[in-house]
Amino acid sequence: MLLPIDENEEVILDIRYASRNNFVGRPIYDRGVALLRIEAHAAFHRALARARAIGLGFRVFDAFRPLEAQSTLWDAISDSSFVADPALGGTHPRGIAIDLTLFDRATGRDLPMGTDFDAMTPLSAHAALNGLSPDAIRNRALLLGIMTATGWEPYEPEWWHYNLPARENFPAMAAADVPDGPLLVRSDGGIA
């Protein structure tokens, strides 16, 4: 079962694959929804409580991604450092991954992270130091601390990507596997 993340003052849904503002350059989803399995949804809310306690919120870029969407992204880049091979399932199609950043609730501004979401460069790695400002390094460490303290694992090449452990316990899903799913397959290979 997948549950939606509700947008509120501590969560901004900026689902990039529902817009042209992504590396494919066209919408992959018809609607900007963020879905997570029950276990991931609970872990997200634990992380949100920690962020909220220090005056921060989350901007969510992506969560559950059906296999059809994973295939579209894979076909666009075929780089397993940044997009999982859909034949292997990945973590987004399992409903246990989330792409996000932090924003300051007082100002509404995202904290600087040194690169944009989906910047396919070595500077996007958690371990990157050279070329990043001290603020970006600190903010990434803050995000890492919040997420790992609440049960998430980081994906090393992408500062924005976190997933639950034990991916083998969660089968990958196609759009048709989601009852009353908000994501349907379009004839052009996108998700409607």
Which long-range contacts link 146-151 to residues 24+ away (Cβ below 8 Å)? 146/47, 146/50, 146/51, 146/102, 147/47, 149/47, 149/50, 150/43, 150/46, 150/47, 150/50, 151/43, 151/46
Q: Is 126 annotated as a binding residue?
A: no
Element (H, E) at 138: helix 134-149
Q: Is position 7 annotated as part of the catalytic site?
A: no
Residue 71: both structure tokens together: 């295939």
Element (H, E) at 92: none
CA distance 21 to 13: 13
Q: Is 92 annotated as a binding residue?
A: yes
Three-class DSSP category at 87? helix
Catalytic residue among 7, 9, 39, 158: 158
Binding-site residue ranges for Zn(2+): 92, 99, 161
Residues recognised as catalytic: 158
Binding-site residue ranges: 92, 99, 161
